Amino acid sequence: METTSINSLSQMNLFDVYSVSDIEIVKALGSLLWDKNGKHYLDLYGGHAVISIGHTHPHYVSSLTEQLQKIGFYSNSIVIDQQKQLAAKLGQLSGYTDYQLFLCNSGAEANENAFKLASFHNGRKKIIAFSKAFHGRTSLAVASTDNPAIVAPVNENNNTTFLPLNDIYAFDQAVNNEVCCVIIEGIQGVAGIQIPDDTFLQHVAQKCKELGIVLILDEVQSGYGRTGKFFAHQYAEIQPDIITVAKGMGNGFPIAGVLIAPHIQPRKEMLGTTFGGNYLACAAGLAVLEVIEKENLMENAQLMGDYLMEQLMKIPNIKEIRGKGLMVAIELYEPCAPVRKRLLEEFGIFTGTASNKNVLRILPSLAVTVAELDKLLNALRILLK
Ligand code: PMP
């Protein structure tokens, strides 16, 4: 019999989407990472705000392991107890006890479904979004993302108007009763941590209510306790019609959600997705919420964020420090790439950047410690001298 070796077949190559370095991480614990050569690093980026409770947290690992030993997946056509428990816990910790939760798999998918719900609700088509917004890479998420690199010809005739953030006058000029929805990030992340003013959010919420516009709060990056409150918009004490969550929700396991206010009624078959709310995703999601609650991680995020920003203020050559809790931008006077590279190569610290290339983005686990933040502060004292 003839056998074919893998080498004699033409080989499929991986499309390398994001890679910026060849460090291969093979192990992690808390805020620590190890590469395949055994070198360790400090993770202050949390895989882009995904690591909420720290890497390989024992409760998270045992919850997922125990679930996998029982059942990992059956069908999306039955409701399971874990989904109800997750919805109840999310309601309890966020305060949105009367909202309904739809479970899906990514931030973009959550936003896509939010747009769908909004347009079914009021029958309108126009979207208002904000300059430099990022909402994901599916069709409507791209259409509401303001980034010249993230476009698609299919969306060229889109219905989105982008407005400057915090500009009440521009907002009032643009809204009318033809607008379907306004989508806004609780805090703009990819843009480089741009914070909507409380008064702006309150004005937007009020106007949306008056004109029957659905207000969608994208809390994919800013939610899940990162800012010290469960959702960043809760500082402004507004109540959106729809809230989207992902990233920190699963601490690395793909899970996302759409929180839907009682007056927005999804119909059966309007929403759906094969993997959404599977046993493992729910086990991950529930474990994350249990750890956030048990270890007071929202309070820690607030305390650590305040400490970090206070200490950063004392370091020279920083143009601006912005943030709430553990969502912090360190804006330099020039592109941050050389500083970011030296942080990684000389100090073993992972940080992020933003579409504003001068911004170093700090998004650690909500369980980060003073000692870990001090490593960053000491390194920056040396590098920015
Ligand atoms: N919304 C916001 C605010 C985000 O930051 C992101 C991811 N950076 C998304 C949506 C898209 O999430 P995902 O990559 O899970 O689709």
Residues 261-301: pLDDT tens digits?
A: 999 999 888 899 999 999 999 999 999 999 999 999 999 99
Beta strands in 124-211 (DSSP E): 126-130, 160-163, 179-185
> In this predicted structure, which of 152-161, 186-195, 273-282, 351-360 has the lowest mean pLDDT?
152-161
* Average pLDDT for 227-252: 98
pLDDT of the residue at 272: 93
Confidence of residue 6 (pLDDT cuts 50, 70, 90): low
Mutate to test the pocket of ligand 1, among 142, 220, 233 (most ligand atoms within 8 A of CB): 220
Topology (CATH level 3) of domain 6-57+296-383: Aspartate Aminotransferase, domain 1 (3.90.1150)
Confidence of residue 5 (pLDDT cuts 50, 70, 90): low
Residue whose CA is at the smallest distance from ligand 1 atom 10: 135
8 A C-beta contact, residue 52 and residue 252: no
User: What letter represents residue 159's amino acid?
Assistant: N
Residues 170-226: pLDDT tens digits?
A: 999 999 999 999 999 999 999 999 999 999 999 999 999 999 999 999 999 999 999
Q: Angle of helix 370-383 relative to helix 297-312, nearest 10 degrees? A: 20
Residue whose CA is at the smallest distance from ligand 1 atom 1: 135
Ligand 1 centre and the CA of 220: distance in Å?
A: 6
Residues 68-127: pLDDT tens digits?
A: 999 999 988 889 999 999 999 999 999 999 999 999 999 999 999 999 999 999 999 999
* Average pLDDT for 132-142: 95
Confidence of residue 3 (pLDDT cuts 50, 70, 90): low
Ligand 1 centre and the CA of 134: distance in Å?
A: 7
| Between 252 and 11, the higher pLDDT residue | 252
Atom of ligand 1 nearest to the CA of 222: 3
Ligand 1 centre and the CA of 42: distance in Å?
A: 23
pLDDT of the residue at 67: 98
Mutate to test the pocket of ligand 1, among 135, 145, 187, 233 (most ligand atoms within 8 A of CB): 135
Which region holds residue 10: left if phi is over 0, alpha if psi is between -120 and 50, else beta?
beta
The average confidence (pLDDT) of the chain is: 95
pTM for the whole structure: 0.96
Residue whose CA is at the smallest distance from ligand 1 atom 13: 107
> In this predicted structure, which of 13-22, 207-216, 226-235, 245-254 has the lowest mean pLDDT?
13-22
Confidence of residue 376 (pLDDT cuts 50, 70, 90): very high
The two structure tokens encoding residue 279: 């046993």
* Domain range list for the chain: 6-57+296-383, 58-294
Ligand 1 centre and the CA of 293: distance in Å?
A: 24
pLDDT of the residue at 4: 53
Residue whose CA is at the smallest distance from ligand 1 atom 5: 221
Architecture, CATH, for domain 58-294: 3-Layer(aba) Sandwich (3.40)
Interface confidence: ipTM more than 0.95 = yes
pLDDT of the residue at 8: 59
Ligand 1 centre and the CA of 359: distance in Å?
A: 18
**Three-class DSSP category at 236:** helix
Ligand 1 centre and the CA of 248: distance in Å?
A: 11
Ligand 1 centre and the CA of 314: distance in Å?
A: 32
Residues 15-69: pLDDT tens digits?
A: 888 777 789 999 999 999 999 999 999 999 999 999 999 999 999 999 999 999 9
Atom of ligand 1 nearest to the CA of 188: 3
Residues 295-335: pLDDT tens digits?
A: 999 999 999 999 999 999 999 999 999 999 999 999 999 99
Query: 7 pLDDT exceeds 60?
Result: no
Ligand 1 centre and the CA of 327: distance in Å?
A: 15
The two structure tokens encoding residue 202: 């309150």
Residues in the chain: 385
pLDDT of the residue at 152: 79
Phi, psi of 256 (to 5 degrees): -145, 165
Query: 132 pLDDT exceeds 60?
Result: yes
8 A C-beta contact, residue 307 and residue 373: yes
Atom of ligand 1 nearest to the CA of 190: 5
Residue whose CA is at the smallest distance from ligand 1 atom 12: 107
Ligand 1 centre and the CA of 142: distance in Å?
A: 11
- Start-end of H helices in the chain: 46-49, 58-70, 81-94, 107-122, 139-143, 168-174, 198-211, 279-294, 297-312, 337-347, 370-383
Residue whose CA is at the smallest distance from ligand 1 atom 7: 136
Q: Name all residues whose Cβ lies below 6 A of ligand 1.
A: 48, 106-108, 111, 134-136, 185, 189-190, 218, 220-221, 246
Ligand 1 centre and the CA of 315: distance in Å?
A: 31
